[in-house]
Chains A and B, each alone.
Chain A
């Protein structure tokens, strides 16, 4: 009789979103092994070749680099950033939020103060500050972004658990002899899950967008490792000479990812019991 918890599966939009994300990850992992073009090699073809030019399905950029190869391998860095950041945020945020909601009151007080304080400073400024300490690269970008994206997760987990803990069904479970861990993991966490997962999905999209912004500022992933962000930033200059495709390719990839995570976020919020 363990049919619960009712996670947002078995619904069409969720299936679509998860399939989409899985496909993107698969392309990023397998694609570079299949595609016979070096994403870093300049003058692999004529510069600014339009999509469909022989050997360059999506065209080339102003340095003559193959865009398909670049976008496909760029997915590795960008999706790693998005997924890793949201995973870290989910785990750290859940633990901190749970600790705040169920721990002693001084702990709750301090955690809330720290979260409040960190959310007072614009994300960009905090990232810049951290950047002064860490060298650029994929791993450090993940770290920099994860350092601040756990905040909303922790806040939602704490609020959810606190509001659920006062509910009658939890009291009823206690009267029915449920243990502390059963109350926590059998009743509180599953009921808190939908909005938490929604926030975690949103964090994934946010991280991918933030990576773009960092790359644009020259503080993200260095150009030697293509990412959707730094491809997009390169393309920003090329649009002025009419090369729209080098902008369209990474932008489409980002938009697809954000659409999938956005769909997940909306759906898991909807499956809440409200």
Chain B
């Protein structure tokens, strides 16, 4: 198991490096001179050209791309994401401050979609495809299909409007009430609506369908027929055989949909004014603040990779075939 985890990490780290290199090279093409902009912002008006030159040297902007990338990477490894290309303020604090809320929202959204998917998917998979049960199946499928056709931000807007504005069940945004101290209770109160919307708007549909298809297929699988012939009770067949094997593709899917989930979380953050990485990234993009965008990209990649790794480990625990297959490759 340890070898398997180390093996996974060994493939994920170079992936992150590639992300860093590609984004760094891409953002290098961004128009505008950071030195000029920072100097303008510091001087509060048109700056001295000599001041701009000094800044340029100070920031090492004249060095070739690989040198700048190496220096930046060295700083990042030590936890320094550099200074904003707009006002020269340190980026690390902003990014780290936004990471916590993002993880909280993403984790809760994932939980909603996994639990919901398991519950709804198993229901659909076990119901017969005829008679009145068919209507229930169809209803669940149609409901979960929302996330396929409606952009996450629209689901978020609709949810905000209906549950916060019209019904007033939940606060209309933010992570805490303005002026009040942040408590666990108030954070939870603010978390519920965006988390549910994130879960429904991103992966609930996929997970429900995945589990439903798995359960339906497994119920007619040879080993389930065999279990039936061995007089294993129907409840045990579902819990010990069918659901357990159906979860495997779900876990695999969680790993591969991490990027999608985090992206959805960013959209929800913007709608709900949730102080996370997504809001930070959009503000940065509107300001063309490349340093912040770069930092958010790297941190996002890190979050996704960590999620991938967690899913892989979980997969190894519930499906012994994974460990064996990986061992031989």
Contact = CB atoms under 8 A, between A and B. Distances in A.
Is there direct touching of A and B in the complex, by C-beta distance under 8 Å? Answer: yes
A125 B266 contact: yes
Interface stretch (B15-23, B75-83, B228-236): B15-23
Given A124-B266, A213-B151, A133 B300 contact: no
Interface in B136-167: 148-149, 151-154, 157, 161, 165
Contacts of A125: 263, 266, 281, 293, 296-297, 300
Contacts of B304: 120-122
Interface stretch (A5-13, A53-61, A216-224): A216-224
Given A129-B26, A132-B290, A258 B149 contact: yes
Interface string B250-272: 00000000011011001100100
A133 B262 contact: no
A118 B22 contact: yes
B15 A129 contact: no
Interface in B177-217: none
B209 to A, nearest CB: 12
Contacts of A121: 19, 23, 259, 297, 300-301, 304
A163 B281 CA distance: 39
B260 A123 contact: yes
Interface stretch (A22-30, A37-45, A89-97, A109-117): A109-117
A209 B155 CA distance: 12
Nearest to A131: B285
A236 interface: yes
A255 B149 contact: yes
Interface stretch (B27-35, B47-55, B319-327): B27-35
Given A113-B14, A122-B259, A239-B161, A128 B282 contact: yes
B288 interface: yes
Given A120-B305, A122-B259, A133-B31, A217 B18 contact: no
Given A122-B263, A122-B300, A213-B153, A129 B293 contact: yes
Contacts of A126: 23, 297
A262 interface: yes
Contacts of B285: 128-129, 131-132, 217, 219
B306 to A, nearest CB: 10
B278 interface: yes
The range of chain B's interface size is: 35 or more
Nearest to B304: A120
Nearest to A217: B282
B329 interface: no
A133 B27 contact: yes
A132 B30 contact: yes
Nearest to A135: B31
A240 interface: yes
A117 B293 CA distance: 17
Given A113-B15, A117-B15, A120-B15, A129 B23 contact: yes
Nearest to A254: B149
B191 to A, nearest CB: 20
Contacts of A212: 151, 153-154
B32 to A, nearest CB: 9
The range of chain A's interface size is: 35 or more
B286 interface: yes
Given A122-B304, A262-B149, A117 B19 contact: yes
B148 A129 contact: no
A232 B150 CA distance: 12
A210 B266 CA distance: 14
B285 to A, nearest CB: 4
Interface string B287-298: 010100110110
A236 B301 CA distance: 31
B258 to A, nearest CB: 8
Nearest to B23: A129
Nearest to A147: B26
A19 interface: no
Nearest to A202: B148
A102 interface: no
B12 to A, nearest CB: 8
A22 B286 CA distance: 36
A54 B294 CA distance: 52
Given A125-B263, A125-B266, A129-B297, 19 more contacts: A113-B15, A117-B22, A120-B301, A121-B304, A122-B266, A123-B263, A124-B281, A129-B23, A129-B27, A129-B294, A130-B26, A131-B285, A132-B290, A133-B29, A205-B149, A217-B270, A219-B285, A258-B149, A262-B149
6 contacts: A114-B22, A125-B293, A125-B300, A132-B290, A209-B149, A217-B286
